[in-house]
Structure 1
Amino acid sequence: MGFAGVIDASEIEHRNGGAAMNSARYPQWSYSAALASLPLLTHRRLRWLMQSGTPSDVWRRIRAGERFLNGIDDAVWRAWGSVDDSLLIGVAERCIDLGVTVVTMKDAGYPTALIGDPEAPAVLFLRGNTTAFTHRRVGIVGTRTATASGKHFARTLGAQLSAAGVSVVSGLARGIDVESHSGVLSAMNDDCAPPIAVVASGPDVVYPREHSRIWNEIAMRGVLVSESPPGAHAEPFRFPMRNRIIAGLSEVLIVVESRSTGGSMSTVREAMKRDVAVMAVPGSPGMRQSEGTNDLLRDGCAPVTNVEDVLLALNLDTRRVQNWCDPREALSADEAEFLHAMGRGPRSMDELSIHTSRSLVKTAVYLGRLEAKGWVANTDGWWEALVA
């Protein structure tokens, strides 16, 4: 890095794997990053810009005040014309500091699954190992207000898919998204597929903040994907844009829990537009978290009751599931019998006492043992069996 805000093109080239163009002062990736950082930008406007020439040439024309695209408002041209090279330099330096790779559809690191997508992002900011894109890929999405059993199913499914060599694609949102990636990271070894996280902010802006640890762990062990430059906050309009990338990267999309009007349904619609198979996890009738998934099943989506259902949808050998084992302490025969008798869905202790034909005291003892071993969860007095 040079002095006084002057970037060293050779250092940028080395860090990002791009070649500097003889006709440009800086390597092309830095101009791509600057174009993606323009004000009043949409993903379609960026695509139009990137299709208008090399990134350095497009940047030069904008700086010269040229208006070379139809359908762009005067206010947008004025905003673009107000920027200078300090934006280019600042974004490039930030990418170098963060270890962020900037790729376009012409670059080797760009996900091949997105090439040809009608709404493919023109520029991506990546943190981590882009070889994750070469694995088979399954998207897992769901509600932020998931039940304990839904979170458990997402964790288990994520771990089992990774152990079977399938990368899990998700959005690192609260609830189902982050639980699926927590499962992947809990199971990872040299034979497991790395996680792919598509985020709705810049690659350096952790959202939500409590996910800082898993955010950085995915950047080290998998790959973080964003079409927003460093420093971009998770504004509401960015989430639907993120969802189309999740759908585009997925070979199969699984909805674990969702309300009928939940944000997960946005990803479902994007998947269906791309002919990506959508599968859903059956839920208890009457539970709001299962309204959307049960609607999908009623409309003909295939059910997911275990990892084998997903591997079969991918035409993969289900025997690879044997690579994963549940890390929880094994149950005694009577504990396993009680867990099975609990059934699906949340129940109060009184209901469980009746449902399992045991006294309240014995029910409380069993629940205490199972909770200590991680096989049940208690949420505001409602008990759920954590079984996939």
Structure 2
Amino acid sequence: MARRPETRYVVALAALPSIGPGRLRRLLDRYGPEGAWTAVRSGRVDPSLVVQPGRHERAEVIERWARRAGQLDPDALWDAHRRAAVGVVTCDSPAFPAVLATDDDPPVVLFWRGDLDHLAGMRAAVVGTRDATRYGLDVAHALGRELAEAGVAVVSGLALGIDGAAHAGVLAIEGAPPIGVVGSGLDRVYPRAHGGLWRAVGERGLLLSEYPLGAPSAAWQFPARNRLIAALADVVVVVESHATGGAMGTAVEAGRRGRTVLAVPGPVTAPSSAGTNQLLFDGCGPARQAADVLLALGVEGVRHRPAAERRTAPTGDAERVLAALPWQPVAVEQLVLATGLALGAVVVAVEQLEDGGWVTTSAGWVERLGRDPGGADRDRRTGRVGRTT
């Protein structure tokens, strides 16, 4: 049977109810992946790691974790992600996106479909209310299309309304890839009406989540998702928003990170523009058209370069090995079986791929690498401080 990396325990821990990135980070910091899983299954977690108001509430959380852990098989859950072609990367891996690794509230683990290299280049989040007007939908669609055409990757939460309209605009042309950040497992589409949009974003761009397969959406997960949207974006554009809501929360997270926040002006009598007009009153710049966003990014226009143009493509055995390498760590022996090449040929191919910046190796494991937005290797990262509970 093929070996599985220790990451499988992190995946299983992420499947626990109400775990949250903060709790997960504290468990891993205290016990390590396998030790944390053992502590959770036995119900012997240090209550102080749960961070609940009272001892009774902490005991309930630990009991629920133990019950759920008794129903989970880390090996089977890991294999399910491989079969579903869902990539898994933890924050201590060189393959972890640097733009999130340097954030002050980073995810502990990421699940994705698509290509992490699509995080290279400039990114603008286009967000807003689900209850959008025709005006807002048209503006979001135009912004998505024109930004993608200019080479700017558009980030959204793939929600109904503004988010979906922006990514529909991106997908209407051949431009920069779309990037979606969702608040559930990648097999639990929410809203269901956006199933086709999820698939298209995963095929043409990148679909990201903090939650493993099978994880349903929950109200507390959407603010956590919104902080990732803000962290990924160089500029956040709020198209339409009520006075309160997820888009306003994203704007707050963006401002806290020093990101530029722009807002689309709307009728002063329209509730759907109350939030955006407030942002403008508070000093955010207006986004009247894509040119305003490009100006905030510091460019008049950028040319989109597909990932294949950013690195010299491998050839021969190296190309064969890379094609067989999923976006999870695998043992060298697995690559021998997957490619049919001799062990020596695989080892040489892996060395070539490592020299070219395509993979990293550690103790017999091989893992794909992407590139930083600036082209720097991802293992040159700063430390991280977790905040989210």
Q: When the two structures are superposed, what TM-score results if normalisation uses the length of structure 1?
A: 0.72
Listed as ranges, the matches of 1:326-337 within 5 Å are: none
Pick the aligned partner of 1:268 from 234, 241, 251. 251
Give how far 1:172 is off.
0.5
For the pair 1:238 / 2:216, whether they are aligned, the reply is no
1:276 maps to amino acid: R
Q: State how far apart, in whole Å, the 2-side matches of 1:126 and 1:40 are.
A: 21
For the pair 1:32 / 2:10, whether they are aligned, the reply is yes
For the pair 1:93 / 2:79, whether they are aligned, the reply is yes
Listed as ranges, the matches of 1:138-287 within 5 Å are: 138-188=124-174, 192-287=175-270
Q: State how far apart, in whole Å, the 2-side matches of 1:170 and 1:85 are.
A: 34
> Which secondary structure state, in structure 2, belongs to the residue aligned with residue 258 of structure 1?
coil
Give how far 1:57 is off.
3.5
Give how far 1:28 is off.
2.1
Give how far 1:126 is off.
0.9
Q: State how far apart, in whole Å, the 1-side matches of 2:45 and 2:267 are.
A: 57
Give how far 1:278 is off.
0.6
Partner residue of 1:78?
A: 63
Summarize the Cα distance change of 1:155–1:166 in structure 2 as closer, same or farther, 3 Å threshold.
Answer: same
2:93 maps to amino acid: D
Pick the aligned partner of 2:272 from 286, 289, 302. 289
For the pair 1:42 / 2:35, whether they are aligned, the reply is no
Of 282-291 and 295-304, the range deviating more from structure 2: 282-291
Partner residue of 2:300?
A: 317
Any conservation in 1 of the 2:126–2:156 contact (CA below 8 Å)?
yes
Any conservation in 1 of the 2:234–2:259 contact (CA below 8 Å)?
yes
What is the number of equivalent residue pairs in this alignment?
Answer: 296
Pick the aligned partner of 1:123 from 109, 116, 133. 109
2:279 maps to amino acid: L
For the pair 1:104 / 2:97, whether they are aligned, the reply is no
Pick the aligned partner of 1:60 from 18, 31, 38. 38
Give how far 1:64 is off.
5.1
> Which secondary structure state, in structure 2, belongs to the residue aligned with residue 150 of structure 1?
helix
Q: State how far apart, in whole Å, the 2-side matches of 1:50 and 1:71 are.
A: 10
How high is the sequence identity, in percent, across the aligned residues? 42
Partner residue of 2:349?
A: none
2:213 maps to amino acid: P
Summarize the Cα distance change of 1:172–1:301 in structure 2 as closer, same or farther, 3 Å threshold.
Answer: same
Summarize the Cα distance change of 1:320–1:93 in structure 2 as closer, same or farther, 3 Å threshold.
Answer: closer
Any conservation in 2 of the 1:154–1:176 contact (CA below 8 Å)?
yes
Any conservation in 2 of the 1:50–1:122 contact (CA below 8 Å)?
no
Structure 2: segments with no counterpart, 5+ residues: 51-57, 305-389
Summarize the Cα distance change of 1:151–1:242 in structure 2 as closer, same or farther, 3 Å threshold.
Answer: same
Any conservation in 2 of the 1:259–1:290 contact (CA below 8 Å)?
yes
Any conservation in 1 of the 2:15–2:211 contact (CA below 8 Å)?
yes
Any conservation in 1 of the 2:23–2:49 contact (CA below 8 Å)?
no
Q: State how far apart, in whole Å, the 1-side matches of 2:7 and 2:272 are.
A: 43
Partner residue of 1:306?
A: 289
Give how far 1:302 is off.
0.4
- CA deviations 1:143-179 (Å, max 9, x no partner) are 1121212111111111111122211110000010011
- CA deviations 1:62-94 (Å, max 9, x no partner) are 445543563432233333334248431332132
Any conservation in 2 of the 1:47–1:122 contact (CA below 8 Å)?
yes
Any conservation in 1 of the 2:265–2:288 contact (CA below 8 Å)?
yes
The structure that has the greater radius of gyration is 1
Give how far 1:40 is off.
3.6
Any conservation in 1 of the 2:189–2:198 contact (CA below 8 Å)?
yes
Summarize the Cα distance change of 1:195–1:68 in structure 2 as closer, same or farther, 3 Å threshold.
Answer: same
Higher relative contact order (CA 8 A, sep 6+): 2
Q: State how far apart, in whole Å, the 2-side matches of 1:40 and 1:201 are.
A: 12
> Which secondary structure state, in structure 1, belongs to the residue aligned with residue 139 of structure 2?
helix
Q: State how far apart, in whole Å, the 1-side matches of 2:80 and 2:228 are.
A: 24
Summarize the Cα distance change of 1:80–1:233 in structure 2 as closer, same or farther, 3 Å threshold.
Answer: closer
Give how far 1:123 is off.
1.1
Any conservation in 2 of the 1:135–1:193 contact (CA below 8 Å)?
no
Any conservation in 2 of the 1:102–1:125 contact (CA below 8 Å)?
yes
Give how far 1:42 is off.
2.2
Structure 1: segments with no counterpart, 5+ residues: 1-7, 11-25, 322-388
Give how far 1:320 is off.
5.8
Partner residue of 1:9?
A: 2
Any conservation in 1 of the 2:151–2:301 contact (CA below 8 Å)?
no
Any conservation in 2 of the 1:40–1:79 contact (CA below 8 Å)?
no
Give how far 1:318 is off.
3.1
